[in-house]
Structure 1
Amino acid sequence: MGVYVHKSVLELADLTNREKLVLAYFFNLKLKKINLSNKEIALTLNFSAIEIKKIVLSLKNKKYISLVGNTTKREIKIKKNLEMKFEKATFNGFNLDDDILKLDLNTTKKFVLAEIRSLISSKNGKCTASNLHIANLLKLKERAIQTALLELEKNGFLKRNLKNVNGKTERTIILNLNNTATDETAVNFNEIKEEVPEQQYNDEVLAIFKSFPKRPMMSDFKVEEQKSLCLPILKSKSKDELEFIKFVIGFNVKNNESWKAGFMPYMYKFLEVDKEKYFNEAVKLEFDKFRNKPKVNANLQLLNLQLERDLFDFFSEIEESVWEATDLEILKEFKIRYINGYLKFNDIDFNKRALKKIKEYRPSNLNF
């Protein structure tokens, strides 16, 4: 069944979220007179009867409802009618389903989960809305959304994934309502995170936390406070996301003048509050360049340098008639004199690169 919360209810600035939920429930009943007891309302909305009693009295005092009769036989009448229009291609509200209602969460978090599910259903199975967008829809402060998402992710109700889409960082929110979500939204989080041994993954997370520069005169208490805030955030990230975070830290240490001067933010602010400032498109492009840069094999570089030197000495010491031999014959002769210096290198790499060098040394008019 659930409760549909229309945007006209969300816009009531003088009500708390709990009061909005109860009022929305009354509107859902579509009855002129509501004869439900506090206990019955509480059972439906997963509140205590005492909480419902306080909310009903508050709605009465704010003149949204009136109460007729005594405690044992009471009628609730809605006094303030709201205009509940439903417009196409716009936000009209969301349905708070029973599986969300029954969760042991505060009303703000339930609203956030319900709105994310609504966005997933209307946006091809994806929710890419920003914190500000969700806050505007729910008529809440952006900070309240940030806190709610962090705690919901920490407790496994959702996961946030970052990825590069056409040069921009896109965040996708995936729901995991203890396997009570629909087939489209239910996700096995173990399948999302790469298969990395847990201890190794925790060590990587801790290393990233320690790599974040400490502010001058930062107390041990503040360090532990930041650690308790940041480790759950980092542990919720995939390996690719951790690589990006590690890169952004290093990028700012090298390029951000305020960081060089010791005016870096606290790590929690860096990860959550100001993340759009630090994890922006320009830095993502730098990260992609860094990630796609060809990996340097120091061993092969050393092999090339050694061959360059030894082949030069080899050709300077022997007769020019050596070019009458094939490349393989020249390589065989070279090995007789210099092989002891190449025992640590892979034999296939050695042969391949030595033959390439011999071809380069061979005079163009004496190609064999």
Structure 2
Amino acid sequence: MGVYIHKSILELQDLNFNEKLVLAYFFANKENLKDDNVVIANRLHLTKTNVRQIIFKLKAKKYIEVVGVYSCRKIKILKDIKMKFEKATFNGFLLDDDILILDFCTSKKFILAEIRSLIYSKNGRCTVSNLYLSSLLNLSVCFVKKTITELEKSGILKRDLKNVKGKTERTIILNLNNPIATDEAPAEDEKEVKEEAPKQQYDDEVLAVFESFPKRPMMTVLKIEEQKKLCLPILQSKSKEELDFIKFVISFNSKNNESWKAGFMPYMYKFLCVDKEKYFNEAVKLEFDKFKNKPKVNANLQLLNLQLERDLFTFFSKIEENVWELSDVDILEEFKNRYILSYVKFNDDDFNKMALQMIKEYRPTALNL
């Protein structure tokens, strides 16, 4: 059966490969959009969690609308994407079931599907170049070259190289019945993005920005991991200046937004995508510009201060009153027993000095030691 990926969907720049795959599935089933996440996951060889996250992203990007509750949910397509078919030109390719079931990331499946499409349309011969595939699928040439090499090693395809008038001509031969076709990398576009193109990478800083966003009280580990999977790819796509602005807006709201102080902050994905106009407005931009012109301070110390404020507030909200009879140093040791693993990346002297100062400020006036 498979799913047809039309070039109109392939050319959408704001969607990753998994999102394009699911959107193409919705267009292919326009007359019956009541399939639940399990059915879609089984059809596209994704996990139920993948599908749920993708539908959430497509909804946030205004491609679809979800009507009704889960038990009787229906997907409504919002964008009118014209799917014209023209002779003697590239219109798209079919992602057949035998490719969908392979344990490859979706970008590799797209490469395989296009190679097969060319073989069918070129009298059984595919002499396509890595540059063509790179341009068509918006991938780096390096990633395409690496993928072709890996697929050949796994036996999925074979390259036949011949010298034709002084130039090397490559013909690609497919063997999709090969039983050892596997991919060691997880089939998640959020991870394949790192391989696809040489984007600016600020891995440590990106993670620090995510960690600095206040977590809702009683937020489960599962929910935190879900937010991390949604937000890290978004943060990794930002420039250094955009990351600085995001950090500032988080800090600004943590200090000035009363609902955030009370624990009613949004989830980070909603903050970054759904309600971004509310938080990243001109007034805050002016505050950020003033902040940029101030003398520079140590970014790690700023992050340490923000993290300590959050964790100490949580810590003091849970302790018994008699704990204040202990010295500041003893209270700090008790705090370390519970939270120290979150602070291993910071300097010990900076951590101790800042934490002790905050403990003094939190200590009730009548119990100053």
| Pair member with larger Rg | 1
* TM-score, normalised via structure 1 length: 0.47
